């Protein structure tokens, strides 16, 4: 009897779920009708009805609605279960990446693989990998600003542009080499970060986001219109590739060279960001993200601390900008649109705000997947947008959530060691 | 006894509302002074003006510490005020919940330490030593406050009373010449209040000057050397606990107009 | 002088469009404190819907008046439907999340919608039919201000008045104001907060759609990217007037429109967008509460 009842309840629940999903599906059919089904040609005066799209939408939304309900249920159940256990729950991926026992061999293997990569794969593949590595560094740079300091910067690409144009201009006008401009570009970008950041960093989070977006667009528009300075939309070409002790490199050699430069920069960035995270400054960022007023009352200079994060992020964008200009030998303002900022932000958000491994994984997934699944590349931005929304709803901590290490103090031994605990970052 | 804090004719207006009018207040070294008054009298506004969160409309706030003589605090930002030697706690607890208890106190050490980007990246000898000192000093403060057992816990896992004490520990870490406590006993049970009383007394005996806002009259009367009473933004009385207890104006302010009838 | 008047009216026209879109930003911000980044996309979808429906009806030989009414109606209905759905899908589940989460979700939504229209329709610029006929009585001043401009300016002012009236007098309007002031309290006294938020999105979206229709027939071409720039500018207008304030949004729209018009007319047309963005940055730095907004007092 009781079993029957439970079975009945289950059936009823399933039926209501199906009717609900049918309604959702019907609603989306209505919603997408004018844009997805009708296609007009005003010149030829023809109307095309793409009924097959309606079918796709109907089936697609029905399934998504059913699955998302199921997923949400699972989520709540898991949360309820987690609430019963006092010990913090650490996910499988987080455990792997935070246990030195696993992390070090993985990192070592990755490094080894990276070193021999150009020897195994074609220059074409190496080139793509270099691009992905550039986004890893851009992501890690933005991660300092967004993930660690909790400042949503939507104009990050502006600093990337500053770096790229510094090299392009200094190289074409003054014939300065790559290795000289690399630090110059980084410093210029940092200066820009400070100049832009100083007036706006006292703004509230969402306003800050919009102002940085505005700044990013201003810089792009200036580059586009100030022809005497930047040669406008046609851009700057014939930028020198980096030299290796004055040796002339063939195209393939210089592709490999670029790749190794990027590997070096990635390693340096990981080292740097990791150290920063566990420092006096890193702690101040976390505290500032949680409570600005309390932070100031503890004597932390809000503006200076935020500005440091902003300038550090910009520094990395500037360096990658210089590398970008050297790699492509041609730049124009079209490479520095808001979309680029959005992609870098997507890497950080989807990978896992504040988590170094997360950002690296995020960059590889978001940059390499569309490269290799060419069929998907049209749908790339569509998917980015959708995934950003879904990540915020279902997994705000990203693919790999940030597991912050707390200081564990042992008063007897007077030693402090870092230990793992599940404190999610990105809760700015 | 030398004067630590000298507030002269402090006024604060929000639009047309006079939140504070010509408030004078002095604190000498080693003293516990209480600021009391009915709800909405302007006590927390006074704290906010003195600590730089609000900019007072007029008046002067002067701080005297062994390091600095007669520094004007009004116009300084909250973090500068803390650096000059005055730290506070908050009425509604404002701890960094996702950080450990020890790390909360370490944040208090921030303004007394120096290492920066370069030191963080290359872990210089200076940075390593400073970091070790920060940890040891923070731990020592936790011992003083009686929270050392929970040093490695998350701040959010502490009980309410413990969180209030952690606020005090965090403020102490900034090495203040004057400690400002905003309703430290609010929401505490009698046992916790008793512990708090003992703690404040111990701090005072170690030479810490304290300014206290509190509603718990027993605590105020037991601890304070002198009391200031605020009502509608103006000082209506000052004096020793005994004088305040018997002051008719104060009684009227607390119990309303009909009380003396 | 005539050039000045011409610029003045073209500024008012631009400003009206910004104002229509800004109303949506301001209303949503007032109620749930979110910068609805996808709002510009709603406006773009409104323009596209109007384009598709108007062209279809034109091909089927409908009379001009019917086309205007039906296309406008369709734009408003579908934009509202999109606005409503976006709120339900992307914002409602994370209403209590930290402040930046809904903003990131909104950015994701904006990217998604842009590319949805790009894929569903086209990436090319489409020529938008001129829907509003030239009135004869406008003939003498037509060289200074066109009929379309006049229609846009007048309808913006009428819409603003109606909206203000609606929010001041109607039951729903009162519920909206209550929700804006204190959501928890509003819930406690029995206001259906979810419904109020939905209504806000629907009204804001319908206004954006009207804006989309009007500007498309004014400029004469549309593409999937128009929402981004217009959205940022409308947001500038909302902030300029004081976000959360309805007359503020309209005032801000007009000021921004006039600034742009005069700046491009007298200085240089290359930097049109730079003026708008600079204005945005300057206001946020010097007067974040805007012209008619209330300054926030931080509670400690």
Return the partners of chain C (3 or more C-beta pairs < 8 Å).
A, B
Q: What is the pLDDT of residue C94?
A: 86
Q: How far is CA A173 from CA A87, A169, A229, A375, C187, in A?
A: 61, 6, 11, 41, 65
Q: Which of A20, A28, A30, A34 to mutate to test the interface with C (most CBs of C within 10 A)?
A: A34
Residues A321 and A369 placed together within one structural domain of the fold: yes
Phi, psi for C238 (deg, rounded to 5): -60, -45
Q: What is the pLDDT of residue B260?
A: 44
List the one residue out of A216, A218, A410, A223 whose CA is nearest residue A325: A223
Residues A122 and A221 placed together within one structural domain of the fold: yes
Residues 6+ apart with CB under 8 A from B249: B229, B236, B237
Q: What is the pLDDT of residue A156?
A: 93
Residue A423 lies in a domain: no
Are B199 and B212 within 8 A, CB to CB? no
**Structure tokens that stand for A270 in this block:** 């990981």
Q: pLDDT band at residue A424, thresholds of 50, 70 and 90? A: very low
Whether the CB of B93 is below 8 Å from some CB of chain C: the reply is no
List the one residue out of C209, C208, C207, C215 whose CA is nearest residue C151: C215
Residues A329 and A374 placed together within one structural domain of the fold: yes
Phi, psi for B208 (deg, rounded to 5): -80, 125
Whether C78 has a pLDDT exceeding 80, the answer reads yes
Q: Please judge whether B44 and C298 are an interchain contact, meaning their C-beta atoms are less than 8 angstroms apart.
A: no
Q: pLDDT band at residue A87, thresholds of 50, 70 and 90? A: very low
Are A219 and A188 within 8 A, CB to CB? no
Residue A424 lies in a domain: no
Instruction: Find the mean pLDDT for residues A71-100.
Output: 65
Residue A344 lies in a domain: yes
Whether A423 has a pLDDT exceeding 50, the answer reads no
Residue A428 lies in a domain: no
Average pLDDT, rounded, for chain C: 85
Q: What is the pLDDT of residue C137?
A: 65
To the nearest whole Å, the CA of A409 is away from the closest chain C CA by: 31
Q: Please judge whether B53 and C297 are an interchain contact, meaning their C-beta atoms are less than 8 angstroms apart.
A: no
Q: What is the pLDDT of residues A278-328, one digit of tens each?
A: 888 988 998 888 888 899 889 899 888 999 999 999 999 999 999 999 998
Q: Locate tokens 């080139």: which residue?
A: A127
Q: What is the pLDDT of residue A370?
A: 76
Residues A68 and A164 placed together within one structural domain of the fold: no
Give the residue from A22, A51, A84 where a domain finishes.
A84
Instruction: Looking at mean pLDDT, say which of A112-126, A246-260, B31-45 comes out highest.
Output: B31-45
Q: What is the pLDDT of residue A425?
A: 36
Are C103 and C34 within 8 A, CB to CB? yes
3-state DSSP: chain C helix, strand, coil percent, rounded to 5? 75, 0, 20
For the stretch A172-179, contacts whose Cβ atoms lie closer than 8 Å and that sit 24 or more positions apart, written own/partner, are A172/A236, A172/A238, A172/A239, A177/A240, A177/A242, A177/A243, A178/A240, A178/A241, A178/A242, A178/A243, A178/A322, A178/A326, A179/A242, A179/A243
- Residue A44 CA to residue A47 CA, distance in Å, equals 9
Q: What is the pLDDT of residue A158?
A: 93
Pick the CATH number of C2-286 from 2.60.40, 1.10.3470, 2.60.120, 1.10.287: 1.10.3470
Q: What is the pLDDT of residue A203?
A: 79
Domain span holding position A7: 2-84
Phi, psi for C90 (deg, rounded to 5): -100, -25
Whether the CB of C263 is below 8 Å from some CB of chain A: the reply is no
Q: What is the pLDDT of residue A185?
A: 93
- Residue A339 CA to residue A381 CA, distance in Å, equals 9
**ipTM score:** 0.87
Residue A355 lies in a domain: yes
Instruction: Looking at mean pLDDT, say which of A144-153, A418-427, C208-217 comes out highest.
Output: A144-153
Q: Specify the range with the lowest mean pLDDT, choosing from A79-83, A382-386, B30-34, C5-9.
A: A79-83
Give the residue from A84, A118, A153 where a domain finishes.
A84
Q: Please judge whether C120 and A32 are an interchain contact, meaning their C-beta atoms are less than 8 angstroms apart.
A: yes
**Which secondary-structure segment (H or E) carries B27?**
strand B17-28
| pTM for this entry | 0.84
B/e letters for A73-98, b = 16+ CB within 10 Å, e = fewer, are eeeeeeeeeeeeeeeeebeebbeebb
Q: Please judge whether C300 and B53 are an interchain contact, meaning their C-beta atoms are less than 8 angstroms apart.
A: yes
Strands, sheet with B3-14, edge to edge from the N-terminal-most edge strand: B17-28, B3-14, B58-63, B71-72
List the one residue out of C157, C202, C203 whose CA is nearest residue C16: C157
How many helices and strands, by DSSP H and E, does chain C display? 11, 2
Instruction: Find the mean pLDDT for residues A266-271.
Output: 92
Q: What is the pLDDT of residues A15-27, one digit of tens each?
A: 888 888 899 999 9
Residues A135 and A211 placed together within one structural domain of the fold: yes
Q: Please judge whether A392 and C280 are an interchain contact, meaning their C-beta atoms are less than 8 angstroms apart.
A: no
Q: What is the pLDDT of residues C126-159, one digit of tens each?
A: 887 776 666 666 666 666 667 778 888 888 888 8
Q: What is the pLDDT of residue A269?
A: 93
Boundaries of every domain in chain C: 2-286
Are C172 and C199 within 8 A, CB to CB? yes
- Residue B189 CA to residue B171 CA, distance in Å, equals 22
Q: Please judge whether B107 and A406 are an interchain contact, meaning their C-beta atoms are less than 8 angstroms apart.
A: no
Residues A29 and A122 placed together within one structural domain of the fold: no
Residue A26 lies in a domain: yes
Residue A335 lies in a domain: yes
**Which secondary-structure segment (H or E) carries C64?**
helix C64-86
Residues A201 and A269 placed together within one structural domain of the fold: yes
- Residue A217 CA to residue A219 CA, distance in Å, equals 5
- Residue B99 CA to residue A295 CA, distance in Å, equals 13
In percent, how much of chain A has pLDDT > 90?
Answer: 23
CATH of the domain at A280: 1.10.3470
Instruction: Find the mean pLDDT for residues C185-202.
Output: 90
Q: Locate tokens 């409908």: which residue?
A: C62
Instruction: Find the mean pLDDT for residues C66-89.
Output: 92
Average pLDDT, rounded, for chain A: 83
Q: What is the pLDDT of residues A156-201, one digit of tens each?
A: 999 999 999 999 999 888 888 888 899 999 999 999 999 888 888 7
Residue of C nearest to B52 (CA): C300
Q: What is the pLDDT of residue A86?
A: 47
Return the partners of chain A (3 or more C-beta pairs < 8 Å).
B, C
List the one residue out of B154, B145, B136, B146 whose CA is nearest residue B172: B145
Give the residue from A52, A84, A116 where a domain finishes.
A84
Chain A (165-224) residues lying within 8 Å, Cβ to Cβ, of chain C: 199-200, 203-207, 209-211, 213-215, 217-218, 221-222
Whether A371 has a pLDDT exceeding 90, the answer reads no
Provide the terminal-to-terminal Cα distance of chain B, rounded to the nearest Å.
Answer: 42
Q: What is the mean pLDDT of each run of 10 residues along chain B (261 residues)?
A: 85 87 90 89 89 88 82 85 90 88 90 82 84 88 88 87 91 91 88 91 91 89 91 89 88 66 38
- Residue B119 CA to residue C79 CA, distance in Å, equals 55
Counted domains in chain A: 2
3-state DSSP: chain A helix, strand, coil percent, rounded to 5? 75, 5, 20
Residue A411 lies in a domain: no
- Residue C12 CA to residue C4 CA, distance in Å, equals 12
Whether A421 has a pLDDT exceeding 50, the answer reads no
Residues A169 and A29 placed together within one structural domain of the fold: no
Are B169 and B105 within 8 A, CB to CB? yes
Q: pLDDT band at residue C295, thresholds of 50, 70 and 90? A: low
Whether A387 has a pLDDT exceeding 60, the answer reads yes
Whether A242 has a pLDDT exceeding 70, the answer reads yes
Q: What is the pLDDT of residues A196-235, one digit of tens each?
A: 888 887 777 778 888 888 888 888 888 988 888 888 888 8
Q: What is the pLDDT of residue A95?
A: 67
Whether the CB of A268 is below 8 Å from some CB of chain B: the reply is no
DSSP string covering C213-251: HHHHHHH-EE-TTHHHHHHHHHHHHHHHH-TT-HHHHHH
Q: How far, in whole angstroms, is CA A2 from its chain's centroid?
A: 52
């Amino acid at each position: 009897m009781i079993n029957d009842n439970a079975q009945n309840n289950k059936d009823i629940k399933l039926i209501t779920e199906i009717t609900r999903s049918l309604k959702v599906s019907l609603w989306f059919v209505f919603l997408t009708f004018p844009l997805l089904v009708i296609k007009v040609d005003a010149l030829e005066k023809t109307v095309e009805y793409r009924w097959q799209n309606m079918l796709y939408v109907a089936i697609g939304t029905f399934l998504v609605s059913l699955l998302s309900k199921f997923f949400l249920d699972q989520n709540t159940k898991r949360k309820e279960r987690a609430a019963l256990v006092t010990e913090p729950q650490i996910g499988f991926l987080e455990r792997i990446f935070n246990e030195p026992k696993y992390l070090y061999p993985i990192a070592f293997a990755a490094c080894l693989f990276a070193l021999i990569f150009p020897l195994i794969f074609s220059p074409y593949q190496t080139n793509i990998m270099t691009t992905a590595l550039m986004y890893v560094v851009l992501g890690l740079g933005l991660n300092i600003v967004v993930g660690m300091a909790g400042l949503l910067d939507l104009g990050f690409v502006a600093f990337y542009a500053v770096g790229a144009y510094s090299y392009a201009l200094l190289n074409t006008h003054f014939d300065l080499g790559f290795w000289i401009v690399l630090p110059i570009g980084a410093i210029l970008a940092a200066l820009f970060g400070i100049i832009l950041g100083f007036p706006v960093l006292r703004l509230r989070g969402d306003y800050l986001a919009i102002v940085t977006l505005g700044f990013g667009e201003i810089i792009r528009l200036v580059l586009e219109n100030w022809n005497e300075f930047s040669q406008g939309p046609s851009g700057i070409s014939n930028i020198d590739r980096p030299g290796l002790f004055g040796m002339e490199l063939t195209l393939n050699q210089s592709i490999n060279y670029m790749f190794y430069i990027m590997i070096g920069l990635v390693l340096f960035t990981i080292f740097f960001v990791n150290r920063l995270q566990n420092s006096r400054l890193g702690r101040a960022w976390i505290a500032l993200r949680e409570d600005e007023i309390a932070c100031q009352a503890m004597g932390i200079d809000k503006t200076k601390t935020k500005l440091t994060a902003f300038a550090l992020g910009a520094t990395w964008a500037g360096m990658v900008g210089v590398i970008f200009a050297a790699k492509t030998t041609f730049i124009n303002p079209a490479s520095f649109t808001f979309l680029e900022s959005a992609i870098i932000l997507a890497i950080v958000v989807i990978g896992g705000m504040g988590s170094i491994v997360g950002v690296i994984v995020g960059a590889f997934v978001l940059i390499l997947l569309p490269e290799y699944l060419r069929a998907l590349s049209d749908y790339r931005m569509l998917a980015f947008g959708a995934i950003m929304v879904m990540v915020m709803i279902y997994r705000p901590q990203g693919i790999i959530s940030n597991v912050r290490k707390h200081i564990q103090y042992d008063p007897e031994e007077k030693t402090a060691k870092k230990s793992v605990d599940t404190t999610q970052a990105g809760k700015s | 006894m030398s004067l630590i804090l000298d507030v002269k004719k402090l006024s604060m207006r929000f639009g047309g509302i006079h939140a504070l009018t010509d408030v004078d207040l002095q604190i000498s070294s080693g003293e516990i002074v209480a600021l009391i008054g009915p709800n909405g009298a302007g006590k927390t506004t006074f704290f906010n003006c003195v600590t730089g969160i609000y900019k007072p409309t007029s008046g002067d706030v002067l701080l005297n510490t062994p390091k600095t003589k007669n520094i004007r605090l009004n116009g300084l930002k909250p973090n500068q005020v803390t650096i000059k030697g005055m730290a506070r706690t908050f009425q509604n607890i404002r701890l960094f919940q996702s950080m450990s208890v020890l790390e909360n106190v370490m944040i208090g050490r921030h303004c007394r330490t120096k290492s920066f980007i370069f030191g963080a990246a290359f872990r210089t000898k200076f940075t390593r030593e400073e970091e070790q000192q920060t940890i040891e000093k923070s731990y020592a403060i936790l011992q003083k406050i009686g929270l050392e057992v929970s040093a490695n816990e998350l701040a959010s896992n502490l009980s309410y009373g413990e969180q209030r004490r952690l606020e005090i520990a965090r403020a102490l870490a900034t090495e203040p010449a004057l400690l400002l406590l905003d309703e430290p006993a609010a929401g505490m049970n009698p046992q916790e209040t008793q512990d708090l009383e003992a703690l404040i007394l111990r701090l005072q005996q170690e030479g810490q000057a304290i300014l206290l806002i509190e509603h718990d009259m027993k605590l105020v009367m037991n601890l304070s050397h002198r009391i200031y009473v605020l009502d509608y933004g103006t000082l209506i009385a000052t004096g020793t606990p005994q004088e305040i207890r018997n002051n008719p104006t104060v009684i009227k302010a607390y119990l309303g107009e009909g009380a003396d009838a | 002088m005539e050039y000045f008047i011409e610029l003045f009216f073209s500024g008012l026209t631009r400003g009206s469009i910004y104002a229509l879109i800004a109303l949506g930003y301001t209303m949503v911000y007032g109620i749930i404190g979110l910068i609805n980044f996808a709002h510009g996309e709603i406006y773009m979808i409104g323009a596209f819907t109007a384009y598709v429906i108007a062209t279809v009806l034109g091909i089927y030989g409908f009379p001009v008046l019917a086309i205007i009414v039906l296309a406008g109606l369709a734009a408003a209905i579908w934009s509202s439907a999109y606005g409503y759905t976006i709120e339900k899908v992307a914002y409602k589940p994370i209403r209590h999340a930290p402040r930046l989460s809904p903003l990131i979700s909104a950015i994701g939504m904006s990217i998604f919608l842009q590319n949805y229209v790009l894929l569903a329709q086209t990436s090319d610029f489409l020529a938008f039919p001129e829907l509003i006929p030239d009135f004869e009585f406008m003939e003498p001043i037509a060289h200074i201000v066109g009929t379309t401009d006049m229609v846009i300016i007048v309808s913006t002012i009428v819409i603003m008045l109606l909206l203000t009236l609606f929010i001041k007098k109607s039951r729903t309007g009162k519920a909206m104001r209550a929700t804006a002031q204190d959501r928890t309290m509003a819930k406690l006294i029995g206001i259906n907060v979810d419904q109020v938020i939905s209504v806000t999105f629907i009204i804001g979206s319908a206004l954006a759609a009207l804006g989309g229709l009007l500007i498309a027939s004014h400029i004469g071409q549309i593409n999937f990217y128009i929402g981004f720039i217009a959205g940022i500018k409308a947001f500038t207008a909302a902030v300029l007037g004081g976000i959360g304030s309805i007359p503020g949004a309209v005032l801000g729209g007009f000021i921004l429109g006039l600034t742009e018009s005069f700046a491009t007319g007298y200085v240089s047309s290359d930097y049109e967008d730079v003026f708008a963005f600079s204005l945005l940055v300057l206001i946020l730095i010097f007067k974040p509460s805007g012209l008619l907004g209330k300054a926030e007092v931080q509670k400690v």
